[in-house]
Amino acid sequence: MMIAINHTHDKAARSWVAGANGPDGDFPIQNLPFAVFRRAGEQHHWRGGVAIGDHIVDMHALGDAALLEGAAAAAARACVSPSLNALFRLGPTAWRALRHGLFDLLKEGAPPAERDAVAACLVPREDAIFKVATDIGDYTDFYTSLFHADNIGRAMGLELVTPNFRWMPLAYHGRASSIGVSGRPVRRPLGQAKPPGAVVPQLQACRRLDYEAELAIYIGQGNAAGERVPIDEAEDKVFGIGLLNDWSARDIQVWEQAPLGPFLAKNFATGVSPWIVTLEALAPFRAAAPRPEGDPAPLPYLDSDQNRMSGGFDIVLEVRLGTARQREAGRLPRRVSVTSFRHQYWTVAQMIAHHTVNGCNLQIGDVIGSGTVSGPGEGEAGALSELSKAGSAPVPLDAGEERAFLEDGDTVILSGYCAKDGFARIGFGDCAGEVQPAPTL
Amino acid sequence: MMIAINHTHDKAARSWVAGANGPDGDFPIQNLPFAVFRRAGEQHHWRGGVAIGDHIVDMHALGDAALLEGAAAAAARACVSPSLNALFRLGPTAWRALRHGLFDLLKEGAPPAERDAVAACLVPREDAIFKVATDIGDYTDFYTSLFHADNIGRAMGLELVTPNFRWMPLAYHGRASSIGVSGRPVRRPLGQAKPPGAVVPQLQACRRLDYEAELAIYIGQGNAAGERVPIDEAEDKVFGIGLLNDWSARDIQVWEQAPLGPFLAKNFATGVSPWIVTLEALAPFRAAAPRPEGDPAPLPYLDSDQNRMSGGFDIVLEVRLGTARQREAGRLPRRVSVTSFRHQYWTVAQMIAHHTVNGCNLQIGDVIGSGTVSGPGEGEAGALSELSKAGSAPVPLDAGEERAFLEDGDTVILSGYCAKDGFARIGFGDCAGEVQPAPTL
């Protein structure tokens, strides 16, 4: 069942909260994404929060304030928990009730008494510290961009657009324990690699450190083991979408990948943004998911009218790259790529229908990586090794700097947003990480 | 630090508990493995238990009885929890104290008052229902038998002894949510496959269902992200070892495997035995882990004198296969293979040293699959497709039946034990599962 556009998507709606009404802000009243946070200085008081302008609605405080009723009130109280799993468990009707309740409290024209009570629940966003928003049972990383598969295969010297690519959304299991929230530094990993021309492999600090710009899809409702999810019910299982950086060690990957897939090349660090944008907030930004001319039609379990017409999401994904020298000179990180998730070969619904076709059970709080988001054009590649053609064409930065692969002190910042005439801009915040030197060998 | 042989390994020691002193039993006083159980009829009262003869020491009851002191008492109380993670968290000194305390309470000659108090804590094993013993954060499945790699590659028509095999213990991330305890039925999965000669793939019920006989290594102590575990400290992270059946859909696997490794071919079901045999119980059964003549020496981070001399474990692993017709005729499942984990190319310590060399954090309760255990000889292969040479040489069973792959109604039973002159037999119990028909397409 697809979520319809309703009054919470009305571009004309404005909030009384500071910073919520600018045209370029990430968090207008039409967005209302969720995170888990505490104030700097508090030790263990993690709770749910909803972004609005420059502030966060402290959902613990809001639940105590008893301004909501029925399903919305129950959903607000579930946000007292230090993970969003309790909220997810309540299901889509409760999620929607909470969104609509928050919208009414935060909009211009809300009754003054309610407004004062909500104002007492606001925390300045700059005072907040975040953590990963869900208890993640399992993390699956897909591989769904044909452009990425083509680019990265060329870059790594592997045949990565395999014959199965056009028949099913390929994926591997990632490691849930590797997932950390934006801001966590990323230590350059050690690993076994066999440099070009070497006769034997060696243990070394990664020499080809890379990022992958992806979306994080949060499972809000599970399926029982043995019970598959039909494609047109797949999105009912999704609470929302955030950003994900699948940090990758290409030299380790190319040596270990065959026959079992990526392992230590990926499980040292995976970054996610604090904010999860709900599927309801994304309703206006659906996109068609046509099959390229001449490609095979998906098998019936991966195909539906609904999916073909509107299974995609036009989510713009940007990558900025900063260096230590840039930072010291007071210059901002430089944008190195921008593309949209609508170019992806497989949709979110197809990923879930495929993942569960064998009866595999998804669970509340699980994370699904969308696969690297790379588009068709120059400057649309979601990994540095794609942009630099495996290092042979370093990406120019400012002041004569360039990058073939990531260097120590580099910062990678993913950001995302949806924009469309007639609708408010919906932002994802960002997902950042700085590369730290490897430990000694 | 390796665990030394001590008085709890003394073959002469006997227990006053019924069924503990036979020469062929799995659970003599020298074993004392852990599980999580409840009595049939109880709803939610999961707690830790220790096997002795035909009984289980109810660790919740034992903790209440206050028969132990100090670290042993604290460890017994931690077993009140519905998973063993709380016990694991206390660390190796506490695990050892509990083993030694239990040994003293259960041995012949224990003071009559203590004996009566412990007897009140015994539950007949046949009255118990089990669950997976730990909260599993992540599940990694290794691939460490050269014989298996060679056999299975031949069986699947893939090159699976890749050039990296002799340089590092290969692995992929499995799915923690797929793990269930012995006795859970296994539903034949649906999946996408491309049958031989077919022009396009199709969705079908798996036609090449298989098992893989493995060990389950339980992580008892984690490492911080970014902190690698040196090979000679690796076993300090291990609480103990159980049995694991990595159910595998070969037709799905062969179509999906390249380039990202097994995914839906494996994550529909993974079975584990209820019992975890502690590393201390296994101390007498260590084995050398020599490199075959002519093979490269492991890189320094995967090599040590200790590992070479005694990194292996001589754990015998048997597979029995029963069919519906056999069962109806009142006949017992037939043994189809037997081999030992000592033939494995890579050791437990090497797996952990490799898994963490990039800083990947293992966590308390994680499960590591050893990889299929296949030995060098005929009848030593740990998967049916190896024994049947990919179906071309069906394995004969009783009364004219044979199996190329598993059929509906088949039961696969793994069992394991250690046996050696001068020591009591240490058994692992078993890990069983029956194949149920696929859902309708």
DSSP per-residue codes, B205-236 = E-SSEE--EEEEEEE-S---TT----GGGGGG
pLDDT value at position A421? 96
Q: Is A181 on the interface with B (CB under 8 A)?
A: no
Shared domain for A281 and A344, answered yes or no, is yes
Q: How many CA atoms lie within 13 A of B432 on its CB side?
A: 14
Prior bond of A259 cis (ω within 30°): yes
All residues of chain B having their beta carbon less than 8 Å from the beta carbon of residue A252 are 358
Answer whether residue B284 is part of any domain: yes
Number of neighbouring beta carbons within 10 Å of residue B164:
18
Shared domain for B196 and B255, answered yes or no, is yes
What residues contact B106, with CB distance under 8 A and at least 6 apart?
B15, B16, B17, B20, B29, B32, B52, B57, B118
All residues of chain B having their beta carbon less than 8 Å from the beta carbon of residue A219 are none
Shared domain for B123 and B259, answered yes or no, is no
Answer whether residue A362 is part of any domain: yes
CB A233 within 8 A of CB A269: no
Shared domain for A321 and A287, answered yes or no, is yes
What is the chain A residue with the closest CA to B270? A360
Split into its structural domains, chain A has a count of 2
pLDDT value at position B160? 82
User: Is there a contact between B267 and A358 if contact means CB atoms under 8 Å apart?
Assistant: yes
Q: Distances from the Cα of A261 to the Cαs of A163, A254, A267, A373, B160, in angstroms?
A: 16, 10, 12, 19, 12
User: Computed over its alpha carbons, how large is the radius of gyration of chain A?
Assistant: 22
Q: Is A107 annotated as a binding residue?
A: no
CATH number for A197:
3.90.850.10
CA-to-CA distance for A68 and A77, rounded, in angstroms? 10
What count of residues does chain B have? 441
Answer whether residue A3 is part of any domain: no
Answer whether residue B412 is part of any domain: no
Domain that holds residue A429: 139-436
Shared domain for A58 and A112, answered yes or no, is yes
CATH number for A45:
2.30.30.230
pLDDT tens digits for chain B (441 residues)?
Answer: 678 999 999 999 999 999 999 999 999 999 999 999 999 999 889 999 999 999 999 999 999 999 999 999 999 999 999 999 999 999 999 999 999 999 999 999 999 999 999 999 999 999 999 999 999 999 999 999 999 999 888 877 877 899 999 999 999 999 999 999 999 999 999 999 999 899 999 999 999 999 999 999 999 999 999 999 999 999 999 999 999 999 999 999 999 999 999 999 999 999 999 999 999 999 999 999 989 999 999 999 999 999 999 999 999 999 999 999 999 999 999 999 999 999 999 999 999 999 999 999 999 999 999 999 999 999 999 999 999 999 999 999 998 999 999 999 999 999 999 999 999 999 999 999 999 999 998
Shared domain for A156 and A76, answered yes or no, is no
Q: Is A162 annotated as a binding residue?
A: no
pLDDT value at position A420? 96
pLDDT value at position A1? 64
List, in sequence order, every residue forming a beta bridge with A122; answer none if it has no partner. Answer: A57
Single residue among B131, B154, B173 that ends a domain in this structure: B131
Q: Distances from the Cα of B189 to the Cαs of A230, B139, B389, in angstroms?
A: 15, 20, 22
CA-to-CA distance for A420 and A430, rounded, in angstroms? 20
Nearest Cβ partner for A260 among B143, B202, B362: B143
Q: Is A158 on the interface with B (CB under 8 A)?
A: yes
Q: Given the structure tokens 């919208």, which residue do they identify? A: A103
Number of neighbouring beta carbons within 10 Å of residue B56:
26
B90 three-state secondary structure:
helix
Single residue among B131, B164, B182 that ends a domain in this structure: B131
Catalytic residue among B9, B55, B60, B148: B148
Q: List the structure tokens of A369.
A: 């990586």
Shared domain for B83 and B115, answered yes or no, is yes
pLDDT value at position A154? 82
Nearest to B256 by CA among B346, B194, B301, B307: B194
Among left, alpha and beta (phi > 0; psi -120 to 50; other), residue B167 is alpha
CA-to-CA distance for B55 and B126, rounded, in angstroms? 8
Q: Is A259 on the interface with B (CB under 8 A)?
A: yes
Residue type at position A9: H
**How close A277 comes to chain B (CA, Å)?**
25
What residues contact A250, with CB distance under 8 A and at least 6 apart?
A155, A156, A206, A208, A209, A210, A265, A385, A390, A405
Shared domain for A341 and A394, answered yes or no, is yes
Shared domain for A91 and A193, answered yes or no, is no
Answer whether residue A441 is part of any domain: no
Instruction: Give the ipTM of the model, two decimals please.
Output: 0.97
Average pLDDT over residues A131-138: 98
Answer whether residue B391 is part of any domain: yes
Shared domain for A45 and A174, answered yes or no, is no
Is pLDDT of A424 > 90?
Answer: yes
Answer whether residue A189 is part of any domain: yes
All residues of chain A having their beta carbon less than 8 Å from the beta carbon of residue B225 are 177-178, 180, 268-269
| Residue B357 φ/ψ, nearest 5 degrees | -65, -25
| Residue A256 φ/ψ, nearest 5 degrees | -95, -20
| Residue A35 φ/ψ, nearest 5 degrees | -150, 175
Shared domain for A304 and A358, answered yes or no, is yes
Answer whether residue A1 is part of any domain: no
What residues contact B269, with CB distance under 8 A and at least 6 apart?
A225, B178, B180, B184, B186, B187, B189, B247, B433
Single residue among A89, A110, A131 that ends a domain in this structure: A131
Residue A198 is classified by DSSP as -
Q: Is A228 on the interface with B (CB under 8 A)?
A: yes
Q: List the structure tokens of A142.
A: 């897909």
Helices A112-119, A92-106: axis angle to 10 degrees equals 110
CA-to-CA distance for B311 and A441, rounded, in angstroms? 23
Shared domain for B14 and B144, answered yes or no, is no
Nearest to A238 by CA among A351, A128, A324: A351
What is the chain A residue with the closest CA to B439? A226
Give the best residue of B158, B159, B173, B223 to mutate against chain A (max A CB count within 10 A). Answer: B173
CA-to-CA distance for A52 and A393, rounded, in angstroms? 42
User: Is there a contact between A299 and B264 if contact means CB atoms under 8 Å apart?
Assistant: no
